[in-house]
Amino acid sequence: MSEPDRPLILTLAFDGASFARLDELRRRYFPPERNQVPAHLTLFHALPGENATLIRRELAEICLRQKPFEIEATGLRALGNGVAIAFSSQELVGLRQRLAREWRDWLSPQDSAKIAPHVTIQNKVGADVARATLRELEASFRPFSARAEGLNLWRYLGGPWKLERSFRFGG
């Protein structure tokens, strides 16, 4: 498959301090040999690469009108073989719903489903390691606010991702 046909991934862009905090946790707990991408909150996992021009145009228009907003880290989530930080934001859910309606004919079953916003900080480890990480993090986790500042569009390259373009809220 040529690069322009590879799927696109859409993620939320956090403020710098929140991103640094999440990425540090991911670097600490994610198996280093499997950690090929920075910390991220995925909105869509597999948008059609052949529609990249249309997707970029629509994202630019939407992000121009969208103002940055707060998003709350509400707790930890066990993933079986990993751990994630769960997030809550009605504004994020509304934004994703608007995009999902626009792109409904393209969406995979995973991307058509209701979103459960989270940032995976550990994955692809044994269940016992994941449980130990969850216990360790539960001892110190406190809910916190982050700022959603835009969207990042990535090209999936069979493991690693390549950043196609960042879209800032408010232009």
Could you report the per-residue pLDDT of 10-35, keeping only the tens digit for each? 999 999 999 999 999 999 999 999 98
- The answer to whether the pTM exceeds 0.75 is yes
The predicted pLDDT at position 1 comes to 65
The domains located in the chain, with CATH, are 3-168 (3.90.1140.10)
User: Could you tell me the CA-to-CA distances from 71 to 48, 55, 86, 99, 128 in Å, in that order?
Assistant: 27, 24, 10, 18, 30
- pLDDT tens sequence across 64-83: 999 999 999 999 999 999 99
Residue 3 has pLDDT above 80, yes or no: no
DSSP tag of 104: T
Percent of the chain with pLDDT over 90: 92
Among residues 124, 2, 108, the alpha carbon closest in space to that of 45 is found at: 108
Mean predicted confidence (pLDDT) in 120-148: 97
Among residues 63, 23, 29, 27, the alpha carbon closest in space to that of 146 is found at: 23
**Alpha-carbon dihedral sign for residues 16, 21, 154, 120:** negative
